[in-house]
Chain A
Amino acid sequence: EVQLLESGGDLVQPGGSLRLSCAASGFIFSNYAMSWVRQAPGKGLEWVAVIYGDTSTTYYADAVKGRFSISRDNSENTFYLQMSSLRAEDTAVYFCAKGRSAVAAAINYWGQGALVTVSS
Chain B
Amino acid sequence: DIQMTQSPSSLSASIGDRLTITCRASQGVSNYLAWYQQKPGKVPKLLIYAASTLQSGVPSRFSGSGSGTDFTLTISNLQPEDAATYYCQKYNTAPFTFGPGTKVNLK
CB contact between A107 and one of B1, B34, B97, B101 (< 8 Å): that residue: B34
Residues of B within 8 A of A (CB-CB), count: 26
- Partner-A contacts on B (CB < 8 A): 1, 32, 34, 36, 38, 43-46, 49-50, 55, 85, 87, 89, 91-101
Interface stretch of the complex, out of A23-31, A83-91, A108-116: A108-116
B44: nearest chain-A partner, CB-CB: A110
Contact call B43/A45, Cβ cutoff below 8 A = no
B56: nearest chain-A partner, CB-CB: A108
Contact call A50/B94, Cβ cutoff below 8 A = yes
Tell me which residues across on chain A come within 8 A of B91, comparing CB atoms.
104-106
Is A46's CB within 8 Å of the partner chain B?
Answer: yes
Tell me which residues across on chain B come within 8 A of A19, comparing CB atoms.
none
Contact call B89/A62, Cβ cutoff below 8 A = no
Contact call B43/A104, Cβ cutoff below 8 A = no
B103: nearest chain-A partner, CB-CB: A44
Contact call A45/B96, Cβ cutoff below 8 A = no
A103: nearest chain-B partner, CB-CB: B91
Is A11's CB within 8 Å of the partner chain B?
Answer: no
Contact call B97/A47, Cβ cutoff below 8 A = yes
Contact call A106/B95, Cβ cutoff below 8 A = no
Q: Mark A14-55, 1 if CB is under 8 A from B, else 0.
A: 000000000000000000000101000000111100100000
